[in-house]
Amino acid sequence: MNDDGFINLNKPSGMTSHDAVNHVRRIFSTRKVGHAGTLDPMAEGVLPIAINRATKFIEYLDGDKTYRAEILFGVATDSGDLEGSVIARAEDFIMPTIGDLNAALQSFVGEIEQTPPKFSAIKIHGRKAYDLARKDIAFDMPSRRVKVYQLELIALDKESATIEVDCGKGTYVRSLAIDIGERLNLPATLKSLVRLRAGGFDLKNSLTLDDIKNIGADCLLPIEEALNHLPRFELDERRVKAFMNGLPTTLRLADENSLRVFAGGKFLGIGRIEGGELRASKIIA
């Protein structure tokens, strides 16, 4: 197949993102398959998958995400979820009130400093952190600035709380669960996680692997539609060859980092405007 585009996959719990990509490779008989925003094996929900030429444009997808997470209080694990080993436990603890939980949640809204879990795919000196952690190799996990737009308490029971998180790229909900527990003076870990949205990909419109197998190429979202959060620019058709060859086009427009560039209704790729000149950043051909 020479099909290009994105798939809104509903990844099931228990499957790695890498395994999901391999399933799609077999369905479409192509090696050129990639995913945006890794989902942990225990997590489920939206996993955008790129096919063929769409893999070149993964970096331009909207990085904002929405999650529904269940936080288990009274226990902490080394991985930040139930797949890890227990490292702390609180017996007969008093569950926080709705007011206490809401106050704790609001303290994490905004731009915050977060330390990703050691059991993650982040590279440390060229090696994945989880490989080092599994071998009990000591290392420091660097913190990072991430954005949390909204945190909402959805449900509460005797030992856990379910929240919805709107956040920016690079936010780890496992770390957020641990930090919320610390704010409430309780050990905490992530019990379950569902990604409801990744940029313009929504769980309501997602497809299972069986759906994809049955529908085939008709399930592909065109590259330009997956990038519709970026401004659209119509290029004079006389400048198409220049654009595709990396030559600048002079424009009297303000600088713009990323634009979807079209000519005659056809998507050409991503361009940028700097100093009054339009140049190609990534072309479709």
**What burial letters (b/e) apply to 25-48, b meaning 16+ CB within 10 Å?**
bebbebeebbbbbebbbbbbbbbb
For β-strands 201-202 and 110-114, DSSP reports them as: unpaired
Q: Please state, in angstroms and rounded to a whole number, the distance separating the CA atoms of residues 148 and 162.
A: 16
Would you state the structure tokens that stand for residue 45, as one six-digit string?
């929900």
DSSP 14-38: T--HHHHHHHHHHHHT-S-EEESS-
> What contacts 245, CB < 8 A, 6 or more positions away?
none
On whether the CB atoms of residues 262 and 234 are closer than 8 A, the answer is yes
First to last CA, the chain: 16
Q: Is 140 a catalytic residue?
A: no
Q: How far is CA 224 from CA 4, 150, 158, 174, in A?
A: 11, 28, 47, 32
Among 4, 19, 40, 81, which one carries the catalytic annotation?
Answer: 40
> What contacts 157, CB < 8 A, 6 or more positions away?
none
Would you state the structure tokens that stand for residue 102, as one six-digit string?
């809401």
For β-strands 232-234 and 256-263, DSSP reports them as: parallel
Would you state the structure tokens that stand for residue 119, as one six-digit string?
């059991």
Would you state the structure tokens that stand for residue 101, as one six-digit string?
């939980």
Query: Active-site residue numbers?
Result: 40
